[in-house]
Amino acid sequence: MNNLDPEVARDPDHLVVYGGRGKAARSWAAFDTIVGALRSLADDETLLVQSGKAVGVFATHRDAPRVLIVNAMVVPKWATDEIFWELEARGLTMYGQMTAGSWIYIGTQGILQGTFETLAALARAEFGADDLAGRWFLSSGLGEMGGAQPLATTMLGGVAFIVDVDPRAIRRRLEGKYLDVQATDLDDALARVRRATEERRALSVGLLGNAADVFPEIGRRNIVPDIVSDQTAAHDLMVGYIPQGHTVEQAARARAHDPAAYRHEVQTSIAVEARAILALQEAGAKAFDYGNNFRTQAREAGVAKAFDIPGYVPRYIRPMFAVGSGPFRWVALSGDSADIARIDRLVLEEFVGDGHLARWIRLASERVKFQGLPARICYMGYGDRERFGHRVNDLVGSGELTAPIAIGRDHHDTGSVASPYRETEAMRDGSDAIADWPILNALLNVASGATWVSVHHGGGTGIGNSIHAGLVIVADGTEEADRRIGRTLHNDPGLGVARHADAGYPASLELARRAKFRIPGP
């Protein structure tokens, strides 16, 4: 229900949460059946959900997950866009994206923190700085994922210039204070960006337009941003990227009239934008791909050097993944924002030596508007997640928190995903496409006693391109929950350490030697 709250979901009437067509349930009839099953579920039963549809309640035991979810799995030979969406149209499956179909999407804050971490790592790696003061970032997309870009940039003291073709997306980001101002035209936008950059003043500017028009024009003017990227939902060509020459409404009509011709127009526009990004990169901009399958679509459209744009995970995030750190989140089931404020204080008290984490928690508490149930997210690593979970459970048990807390994470995490165009791109040992790890992750979390566990296909890179797993553990203040939390929040990031140790990352091997799990062999 929280995933489909109108404050949270992109298109709740059609069960779409985010990421193009990522849904929380297959149909409204399926939604009603799932909710009915959850309301009557006993403490020793487990509900099975097959691609957004409840298919059975089975007797298990109290420490077993209450729900097991699998979304969008297709036998590999049939794992193409055309076949999948035909099966989806027949009501046989559902695209769960990452956290939509696993019911732990928390609105734009979920990607905001990941974008913040990416840009902070970029600032350190590319500019030798702790922030983006005096730098500007050109990108496109203000949807459920891309909408985080302007606020993440200004939280780091930089200037964001984000292009979007949908006036509703711009208006929504202005109203939610994720975006500061909307420019009247390109000249106005560039003037605002220039002034703010010169003054080292944080600012985010939105422009109504198409990136395939705007990016090349910026290049023609010999203007070079410090950073350039794209965060449209390019993994879903039919709804995630609007081609040149179309408004959102015109695109919908063209899509319905001639899908094949429309798809060709989309790929043509992606190619234009990709060539513009490559030209800006050649001129000195720090370009990166945000794992939305943009490069693959561009290469298929004829841009041979599309993968000269580096992926953000191998370039900036993998050192964190290697030591079991990734996007970790919690949700106040009370609906009371005071519970999140108390946990914010807990983090600041418990992790006093982590200045970067403290900076994020303070900024988030000041600047993030909750969508749906109050929630928070941060990058937290192996060992720290377990410690945090026990402390939160103590606060629930003592009554300092007024209701249980759902603790989960993105599927985009240290050991829970195989995605050769994003999380596992350019692995040290060449294991980019090995998909055993997310399945092992899900199985381990079931054995550890997570409250619900999910395995999905596709995520943010599209059908055929990734397998990934998620989990949620509920802290209800009981001793039983505390034992489950200890196992789950130790083992889940621990597998990420093991996965990277197996690939030969020195930091992972060293951490594994000190960890409370064994890696067999010499």
Q: Do 174 and 217 form a contact (C-beta atoms < 8 A)?
A: no
Query: Token match 């059946």: residue?
Result: 33
User: Among 178, 470, 473, 489, which Cα is nearest to 331's?
Assistant: 473
Q: Do 452 and 69 form a contact (C-beta atoms < 8 A)?
A: yes
- The DSSP annotation for 128-193 comes to S-SS-TT-EEEEE--STTGGGHHHHHHHTT-EEEEEES-HHHHHHHHHTTS--EE-SSHHHHHHHH
The gap from C-alpha 328 to its chain's centroid, in whole angstroms, comes to: 11
Can you give 401-446 as a three-state secondary structure string?
CCCCEEEEECCCCCCCEECCCCCCCCCCCCCCCCCHHHHHHHHHHH
Q: Which helix (H) or strand (E) holds 311?
A: none
| Separation between Cα atoms, residue 52 and residue 94, nearest integer Å | 6
Q: Which helix (H) or strand (E) holds 68?
A: strand 67-71
Q: CB-based contacts of 126: which residues, under 8 Å, 6+ apart?
A: 227, 286
User: Among 19, 496, 502, 116, which Cα is nearest to 316's?
Assistant: 116
Buried b (16+ CB within 10 A) or exposed e, 83-102: ebbebbeeeebbbbbbbbbb
Buried b (16+ CB within 10 A) or exposed e, 465-484: bbbbbbbbbbbbbeeebbeb
Cβ contacts of 308-311, under 8 Å, gap ≥ 24: 308/278, 308/281, 309/274, 309/277, 309/278, 309/281, 311/421, 311/422, 311/425, 311/426
Angle, nearest 10°, between helix axes 436-448 and 479-502? Answer: 160
Task: Enumerate the active-site residues.
Answer: 378
Q: Do 35 and 54 form a contact (C-beta atoms < 8 A)?
A: no
The identity of residue 156, as a single letter, is: L
- The DSSP annotation for 70-87 comes to EES---GGG-SHHHHHHH
User: Among 479, 460, 339, which Cα is nearest to 411's?
Assistant: 460
In a 13 Å sphere around the CA of 24, the CA atoms on its Cβ side amount to: 27
Can you give 19-56 as a three-state secondary structure string?
CCCEECCCCHHHHHHHHHHHHHCCCCEEEEEECCCEEE
| Separation between Cα atoms, residue 188 and residue 161, nearest integer Å | 11
